[in-house]
Amino acid sequence: MSDAKQTPEDDTSERLRAELEAFEAALPAAADEAGLYELQVRFLGKKGSVTALRKRMGKVPPEQRKALGKAFNEVKQAIEGGLERRRVELESQARERELSRRVDLGFVPERARAGAVHPITATRRALEVIFRRMGFDVLDGPHVEVEDYNFDRLNFEPEHPARDMQDTFFVDPPAGAAASGAGAAAWDPAKSFVLRTHTSPVQVRTMLSHRPPIRIVAPGTVFRRDDDPTHSPMFNQIEGLYVDRGVTMADLKATLYGFVRAFFGPGLMVRLRPSFFPFVEPGAEFDMQCPFCRAPGEGEQPNAGCGLCKHTGWIELGGSGMVHPAVFERCGLDPEVYTGWAFGFGIDRMAMLRYGVPNLKHFFEGDLRVLEQFPC
Ligand code: FA5
């Protein structure tokens, strides 16, 4: 056992050495600026371990203070130097990481695809603009419709074969509603539902809720059990209705002629061809001269025309006619006071003509290669 007595200077110097060793052991683990700052605070901060030892200087005999002060400064410089070295080292590691990052300059990112308005929507909007300019309001109606509005109030009798002309999707009534359909005890058309087969129920809804003068168009989607290149189970129609005192068939023809001129351009002939729809009398199909071949109409030059008009020279746009008195009565309007006309055209057919698309299905199959050709 040594007799030598340990002086405060020895003790402090030893502890200073121990702190420096502790610092050097901790330094490699400092991985960033925050870690370096933490070490600086731990050893040299106001409450740091080295700073605490320095406060013991007062207890050291005056002759030892100089040597101890020197030792403090050396430890302090060693710590500060260590921190700075590590900082430089970390910076150069970061730079190396940045420089070794590989960027593939050959990679060409795919451009974000811009969407476009569907050609049928574009056609519908163009129709709306034309009819608004002619003074028509644009209305909408529900896709799931009561049979009453889809058929009965439009003068389709329950057993009349005219209902078969529009092969219908029937919809189950909401839970709790009265049963409907063949054999049901109390079939009620006001409580039986269909996917609307045409836009004509909007006529009913408008007449039940508005007083004449009524001048509306109602574009929208309709549904039938149809399927071939020119018929789709889901398609779009635009309904027109004009009701007032003294409205005549001449107004109908003039309005439709004006519409064809605005939509397809000037110089095309139009014609009304007698036809039957239960809700108009007289009723007519509305045809326009084929805008592609502009061949004179059927009969004038057989075998003329193109595939689109099936070599007839005429394109059928849809049905039209004077509103049937029975429809006025079923919709609460006096047929002795009011007259009116209505029409219902296929929007999809008009889009086919507008864009020269031969098959209706192209519009609905969602094939981007087709749809991208219509940047609207
Ligand atoms: C009707 O739907 C009547 N509501 C039109 C009407 C309204 C007549 C007002 C009188 C007064 P129609 O079933 O003919 O009529 O259909 C009208 C048009 O819709 C057709 O000329 C055709 O252009 C289009 N169309 C009919 N069925 C389909 C289908 N499955 N796919 C695509 N278009 C169709």
Question: What are the φ and ψ backbone dihedral angles of 238, each rounded to 5 degrees?
Answer: -125, 125
Residue whose Cα lies nearest atom 31 of ligand 1: it is 231
Q: Ligand 1 centroid to 333 CA: how many Å?
A: 25
Q: What is the pLDDT of residue 131?
A: 98
- 155 in ligand 1 pocket by Cβ < 6 Å? no
In this structure, the number of other CB atoms found within 10 A of the CB of residue 357 comes to 18
Ligand 1: which of 277, 327, 357 to mutate, most ligand atoms within 8 Å of CB?
277
What DSSP line would sit under 341-356, residue for residue? EEEEEEHHHHHHHHHT
CB distance 240 to 318 below 8 Å: no
Distances (CA, A) of 298 to 57, 260, 276, 301, 312: 120, 19, 21, 6, 5
- pLDDT of res. 1: 44
Alpha-carbon 275 to chain mean position = 40
**pLDDT value for 128:** 98
Q: Which amino acid would we find at residue 207?
A: M
pTM score of the predicted model: 0.69
In order along its 376 residues, the chain shows pLDDT tens digits of: 444 566 666 788 889 999 999 999 999 999 999 999 999 999 999 899 988 888 887 787 888 888 888 889 999 999 999 999 999 999 999 999 988 888 778 877 777 777 788 999 999 999 999 999 999 999 999 999 999 999 999 999 877 776 777 788 888 876 665 554 444 556 677 778 999 999 999 999 999 999 999 999 999 999 998 887 778 899 999 999 999 999 999 999 999 999 999 999 999 999 999 999 999 999 999 999 988 888 765 555 555 677 778 888 888 999 999 999 999 999 999 999 999 999 999 999 899 888 888 788 888 888 888 888 876 6
Task: Write down the pLDDT at residue 246.
Answer: 96
Tell me if the bond preceding 282 is cis, omega within 30° of 0.
Answer: yes
Q: In Å, what is the CA distance from 312 to each residue of 7, 285, 367?
A: 123, 15, 31
Residue nearest to atom 2 of ligand 1 (CA): 198
Q: Amino acid identity, residue 183? A: G
Could you tell me the distance, in angstroms and rounded to a whole number, from the CA of residue 343 to the centre of ligand 1?
Answer: 9
**C-alpha–C-alpha distance, residues 64 and 62, integer Å:** 5
Residues whose CB falls within 8 Å of the CB of residue 305, separated by 6 or more in sequence, listed in order: 290, 293, 295, 311, 312, 313
**232 touches ligand 1 (CB under 6 Å):** yes
**DSSP character for 284?**
E
Give percent helix, percent strand, percent coil of the chain, each to the nearest 5.
Answer: 45, 20, 40
pLDDT at 106: 82
